[in-house]
Chains A and B, each alone.
Chain A
């Protein structure tokens, strides 16, 4: 089974691919439609700004490819940080931008209420639902976050994990074949690798 890490010119592609390899799977980093099509699982990584992310996806004609693979063919996909944010409907980061619209959610600036922004470091993820993503991951395990904007789900149901930072923040969501994490599993040591393995084996 091969896993495609979607290369849209942003993101910590190497870290994600390295973690996949460490878990014993074959990772392909690519923006090529046929290569993405051949992969049985997709990961949409990312660090960077929302507007740039969408612009680069469009420029590389990846929105069409991803919509076909993820929505029509129901191919499993995991979004990480910016990659997860791009799955939302829209974002207010540096202006208004439309996202992929797979999840009923918006991306908003973190209101830290006196806490430092960006939210950087290890924070506990409270699992609000039982989900295969969290198999063998203890409740309230620590994961690594680094972000200034965050995913706000329209309604409960898609959200499966929250982290406390000036209020409960969506840390993980899932809707069918579409999974997303605001934190970086590839940089979250043992629990992060377990969670990535759960996606790869699901």
Chain B
């Protein structure tokens, strides 16, 4: 039986590790504390705003990370073309994460899936709660409304060749209040590919809820205090005790 995955999301601003809050780079980490051995998978996202920073810094950072990373590495941020995807794979990515690029040109998903297989394409969806129980998919770091609902977009992305869906609540990002499991459930119910949920995890019970209520295949955290060896082990023991099989 496949285990429940615990995934670390690293957000890089011009090649430097930052935590984000409601999508704004919020806190810079001076050293890399990520334990590359206990975590099940790593997602690296370039959150550098267009016109700021040098993309080469991001590629360098990914390349350095990949050298010592023997778990799957999904990388994204600013992927607009098959050439961008190829570049990420060449610096050590195992999967490519697409978001705004796929909203602007949905065929991008098919292009990458055709070239490298569906399992290589993770479609990231940033959703904003309208406050009336519905959600709006946002592009360009949450700035632009698309008017699409995340479940419909996830379903379409799956049809176009997405191998996994990565759903993030913009509102919960960096809040530590727990995931938006209404959102997660909406999306996980809509598709048959694995769903990774992100945004808001602040304690181990939030991970349990992400799996049980949100229907997640993988729970993600960007919180630095969730990265260390002891904390990942502790989180996994908590999940195991709650009856959720994990890789201990």
A and B from one complex: yes
Which residues of A are interface residues toward B (Cβ below 8 A)? 10, 12, 14-15, 18-19, 22, 47-49, 52, 82, 112, 115-124, 142, 144-148, 164-165, 184, 186-190, 192-193
Contact of B70 (CB < 8 Å), options: A22, A121, A146, A148: A22
- Minimal Cβ-Cβ distance residue in A for B94: A12
Q: How far is the CB of B231 from chain A (nearest CB, A)?
A: 18
Q: Which residues of B contact A148 (CB under 8 A)?
A: 117-119, 163
- State the CA gap A148–B121 with chains docked (Å): 13
Q: Are B117 and A82 in contact (CB under 8 A)?
A: yes
Contact of B116 (CB < 8 Å), options: A48, A112, A118: A48
- State the CA gap A164–B1 with chains docked (Å): 5
Q: Which residues of A contact B164 (CB under 8 A)?
A: 118, 120
Q: Which residues of B contact A118 (CB under 8 A)?
A: 118-119, 163-164, 193-194
Q: Are B192 and A121 in contact (CB under 8 A)?
A: no
Q: Are B3 and A18 in contact (CB under 8 A)?
A: no
Number of interface residues of B (CB under 8 A): 34
- Minimal Cβ-Cβ distance residue in A for B39: A189
Q: Are B40 and A188 in contact (CB under 8 A)?
A: no
Contact of A117 (CB < 8 Å), options: B3, B73, B89, B192: B192
Q: How far is the CB of B173 from chain A (nearest CB, A)?
A: 24
Q: How far is the CB of A115 from chain B (nearest CB, A)?
A: 8
Q: Assuming A82-B117, A145-B2, what are 16 further A-B pairs, CB within 8 angstroms?
A: A10-B116, A14-B90, A15-B66, A19-B70, A118-B119, A121-B218, A122-B40, A146-B94, A146-B95, A148-B119, A164-B1, A187-B70, A187-B72, A189-B37, A189-B71, A190-B37
Q: Are B94 and A47 in contact (CB under 8 A)?
A: yes
- Minimal Cβ-Cβ distance residue in B for A82: B117
Tell me if B247 counts as interface (CB < 8 A to partner A).
yes
Contacting A at CB under 8 A, from B1-60, are 1-5, 37, 40
Contact of A47 (CB < 8 Å), options: B1, B119, B194, B217: B119
- State the CA gap A170–B120 with chains docked (Å): 21
Q: Which residues of B contact A49 (CB under 8 A)?
A: 114, 117
Q: Which residues of A contact B119 (CB under 8 A)?
A: 47, 118, 120, 146-148
- Minimal Cβ-Cβ distance residue in B for A190: B37
- State the CA gap A88–B119 with chains docked (Å): 20
- State the CA gap A49–B118 with chains docked (Å): 9
17 sample A-B contacts, Cβ–Cβ < 8 Å, listed by A number? A10-B116, A12-B89, A14-B66, A22-B70, A48-B116, A112-B192, A116-B194, A118-B119, A120-B119, A120-B164, A121-B3, A121-B40, A122-B3, A144-B72, A145-B2, A164-B1, A188-B70
Which residues of B are interface residues toward A (Cβ below 8 A)? 1-5, 37, 40, 66-67, 70-73, 89-92, 94-95, 114-120, 163-164, 192-194, 217-218, 247
Contact of A193 (CB < 8 Å), options: B2, B67, B70, B120: B70
- State the CA gap A12–B93 with chains docked (Å): 8
Given A120-B194, A165-B2, the answer on whether A187 and B247 have CB atoms closer than 8 Å is no
Q: Which residues of B contact A145 (CB under 8 A)?
A: 2
Q: How far is the CB of B35 from chain A (nearest CB, A)?
A: 11
- State the CA gap A165–B217 with chains docked (Å): 14
- Minimal Cβ-Cβ distance residue in B for A186: B70
Q: Which residues of B contact A112 (CB under 8 A)?
A: 192
Q: Which residues of A contact B89 (CB under 8 A)?
A: 12, 14
Q: Which residues of B contact A122 (CB under 8 A)?
A: 2-3, 5, 40, 247
Contact of B3 (CB < 8 Å), options: A47, A123, A186: A123
- Minimal Cβ-Cβ distance residue in B for A114: B192
- State the CA gap A49–B113 with chains docked (Å): 9
Q: Are B163 and A120 in contact (CB under 8 A)?
A: yes
Q: Are B71 and A187 in contact (CB under 8 A)?
A: yes
Q: Are B1 and A192 in contact (CB under 8 A)?
A: no
Contact of B217 (CB < 8 Å), options: A19, A121, A186: A121
Q: How far is the CB of B195 from chain A (nearest CB, A)?
A: 8
Q: Which residues of B contact A115 (CB under 8 A)?
A: 2
